[in-house]
Amino acid sequence: MEEVVNMGFISIIPSLLAIALAFTTRNTVVSLAFACLVGTLIAGQGLLGFPTLLKTSLGTTSFSWVMLLNTFIAILVAFFQKTGAIQGFSQYIQSKNLSRKAVQLVAWLLGGFVYFSDSFSPLFVGTTMRSISDKAKISREKLSYIADSGAAPVSVMVPITGWAAYLSGLAIGVGAIATQEDAMRLFIKAIPFNFYALITVVFVGLIAAGIIKDFGPMKKAEERAMNEGKVLRDGAEPLIGKELTEMEAYQGIQQRVFLNFVLPVIMIMSIAIGTYIHLKSAKTMEAFLFVVIFMSVSMFIQGIPFKEIMNAITDGVKGAVPAIMILALAYSINSLSKTMGTANYIISVTEGFLSPQLLPAIIFLIAAVTAFATGTSWGTFAICMPIALPLAFNFSGGEVTPLVVACFAAVAGGGVFGDHCSPLSDTTILASTGAAADHIDHVNTQLPYALICGLLSIIAYLTIGFMSV
């Protein structure tokens, strides 16, 4: 499709249409597909623009990476279930007779355990805790919220993740940030100013602990689960294939939780962290591929027939299809938004309100709206960081002041905030997948909590803005 700088208000119509239809029809695939079709027509590409959009959007390294990672994770989940590892882990947790509150806290802590990947984290937490939370009568909406809130908000604050490398890389060459070391120091300084991430992690912990009581749609979901035993509402469509939810363990082998569950997770973490330290790039994809191969060999040695292993791989891939379909269309509408200049329009509308006092809060809002409309926090970072940092340095006289640090953090936090609220976001989709929750139900119940954390973040950025000038 042709590159368009700014098509004005009509550039946000496809995203708004996708979001509105997703909430009203509760069919994310149809909503996204229809919005993409309408978008190509608005952009003047005609009906043939739709297949061209799909070809352009999905034939990218970025989508291939997410699709393959999601597939490898689904295969790994299938292996966990086929070996009885998840069942064994669940039985161990259940033997402790944990309360609903304790189960929620375990899920919250697990998110921090796999901080290195915002993609793996919600799938890992959701898959690991699903049967346990079901028995504790915790709604799937609640589990997906805990899994989602322990993913990107944690990853965006840790210096040894791809998030840190990406965000710091966007700052190099701006103002006083001349080298990678300068940029990483800026990232570390910005952690205490990343209010949305900090507030969200604490907020979900307080929700899990029962210190803050559930409210809004989440309260209704929890009351349904506790009083009726329904972890999903009637008519809900879990965002996961039945191949994964209904898979049973192979009966011919002994359950070895450490070998078939704990060790693979440790291996993934070790490879991801080790490659980041030595290569300055966390090889998450390679880590999952290696562990899939390792587990395939290990399962065969333990006595699982080759045919059963291949069936597990096939079921894993099938189980990943619903999420991959939505991811594919989400990437397509993101590409369409770039072509139509959605982000440029949002920024142009807000330019007249910028002042040093309001700058951090406005940047946070711009990043949030952009991420919400496009469904991508990383794309938002690439769009907003080159605008936010020069403005901040202009007001700070070229020095790295608290205003500059706050604006850097505002882009990071705003992107995650918008991502959290959007049904188009890949991490939100993955949280629904891991918890086997209805995707729109997850978004509906999470939205009020995310908005509160976002509002508190805006207040914090306004305070920083007025204190820094």
Confidence of residue 282 (pLDDT cuts 50, 70, 90): low
List Cβ neighbours of 245 (8 Å cut-off, separation of 6 or more): 238, 319, 436
The burial class, CB within 10 Å (0-12 / 13-18 / 19+), for 289 is: middle
Residue 242 has pLDDT above 60, yes or no: no
What is the residue-averaged pLDDT of the chain? 83
Confidence of residue 177 (pLDDT cuts 50, 70, 90): confident
pLDDT recorded at residue 163: 75
pLDDT recorded at residue 6: 64
pTM over 0.75: no
pLDDT recorded at residue 389: 81
Cα distances (angstroms) measured from residue 161 to each of 118, 281, 315, 404: 9, 8, 30, 22
Structural tokens at position 375: 């469904």
Q: With pLDDT > 90 as the criterion, what percentage of the chain qualifies?
A: 27
State mean pLDDT over 157-184: 76
Cα distances (angstroms) measured from residue 414 to each of 76, 102, 335, 337, 423: 32, 31, 20, 18, 16
* 258-267, 313-322, 385-394, 443-452: least confidently modelled range: 385-394
Digit-coded pLDDT (tens) for 373-410:
777 787 677 667 767 887 788 778 778 888 899 999 99
- Four-CA torsion 455, 458, 464, 466, nearest 10 degrees: -110
pLDDT recorded at residue 343: 62
pLDDT recorded at residue 442: 93
Structural tokens at position 384: 């907003």
Place of tokens 């989508």: 63
List Cβ neighbours of 397 (8 Å cut-off, separation of 6 or more): none
Confidence of residue 469 (pLDDT cuts 50, 70, 90): low
Q: Which residue has the higher pLDDT, 110 or 456?
A: 456
Residue 220 has pLDDT above 90, yes or no: yes
pLDDT recorded at residue 246: 54
Digit-coded pLDDT (tens) for 323-365:
677 778 877 877 787 788 776 776 677 666 678 888 899 999 9
Digit-coded pLDDT (tens) for 78-107:
888 788 887 777 777 777 778 899 999 999
115 phi-psi bin (left φ>0, alpha ψ -120 to 50, beta other): alpha
State mean pLDDT over 198-202: 96
CB 429 within 8 A of CB 330: yes
State mean pLDDT over 261-283: 81
- Four-CA torsion 31, 426, 77, 126, nearest 10 degrees: -90
Residue 276 has pLDDT above 80, yes or no: no
pLDDT recorded at residue 283: 78
Cα Rg of the chain (Å, integer): 22
CB 426 within 8 A of CB 164: no
Number of Cβ atoms within 10 Å of the Cβ of 114: 24
